[in-house]
Each structure stands twice: as structure tokens, then as C-alpha cells.
Amino acid sequence: MRRKKRGFIDTRKWYRYQFFGNATVTVPKEKIVVNATIANISFSGIGLYSPTPIGKGKKVRIKITFINRDGKTCEDITTGKIGWQSKFKNTYLIGILFDEELNILNQPMLLEHLIWLINTYNWPQPYKDKRISVL
């Protein structure tokens, strides 16, 4: 008897947003530094396109660089763990789960920019679980 394949169920609690920017991913224990392009971002994680693999499960430091609405280059830093990695042709798709959600104290410029994008383009509020939005 064949089992019926179950469809994909999205269990994420946060919306993902398309985001233009770069990320410098550092693996502190191994002194590995990788420059990657940001595919998308949420308040709890980030998706990247990387030219080299980093390794699933590794603890990383991420410097996120982007251009804000005033045309200025901004940077904020966070930490996380690589949740998944997959090769696609000559590129690696990497998903990083942040150690803690983005917040105004630790990533003020990034959060301000995300709030501006959400409000300007009428994107969905960040939380799928319907908690009260602070935006």
C-alpha cells in the first residue's frame, strides 16, 4: 500500500520579506568569512545566496549591509545558526535562524528600514501568529 504524499505546510510564525543587501557571514570558531547576497529576511531568520558552503548547524555572526531609504549604506549585526543549506548549480542556498528576533535595541537601522518597507509597500505585518504588531 502506497502512502499518500502530504502537501507542504508552512509552519513559520514570521513573514519573509524580499530584501536587497549583502551579508558577511563569519564562523568565529573556524575563522571562515563568506560574503553572500540576501534572498529574503524575516524577524527570526535570513535566506542567503552564497558562493561557498558554510555548513549546517554552525554558529555564525552575520553583518547585514543594505541601502536605506535615504541612499545611505547601513550595517547591523546579529548572530544565528545555519538551519539548512542546499546546492543549486554554482550557488549555495542557506537558511539562518537568528539567536533572537530582530529588535530595535540590537539592530536599530535594519529594523527601522524593515518597518519603513512594510508600511510603505503595505506588506503583511511580520507575525503570522496574529500577535499584536508593534509596527
Helix (H, G, I), strand (E, B) or coil at 119: helix
Write the CA distances from 41 to 28, 91, 111, 113, 119, integer angstroms: 22, 18, 11, 12, 16
As given in the structure block, the three cell numbers for residue 80 are: 544565528
Give the pLDDT score at 2: 64
Domains observed in the chain: 17-120 (2.40.10.220)
Q: How confident is the model at residue 13 (pLDDT cuts 50, 70, 90)?
A: confident
User: The pTM is what?
Assistant: 0.86
Give the pLDDT score at 104: 94
- Please provide the average confidence, as pLDDT, over all residues in the chain: 90
- What does the pLDDT look like over 49-60, one tens digit per residue? 999 999 999 999
Q: How confident is the model at residue 129 (pLDDT cuts 50, 70, 90)?
A: low
C-alpha 44/C-alpha 13 separation (Å) is 9
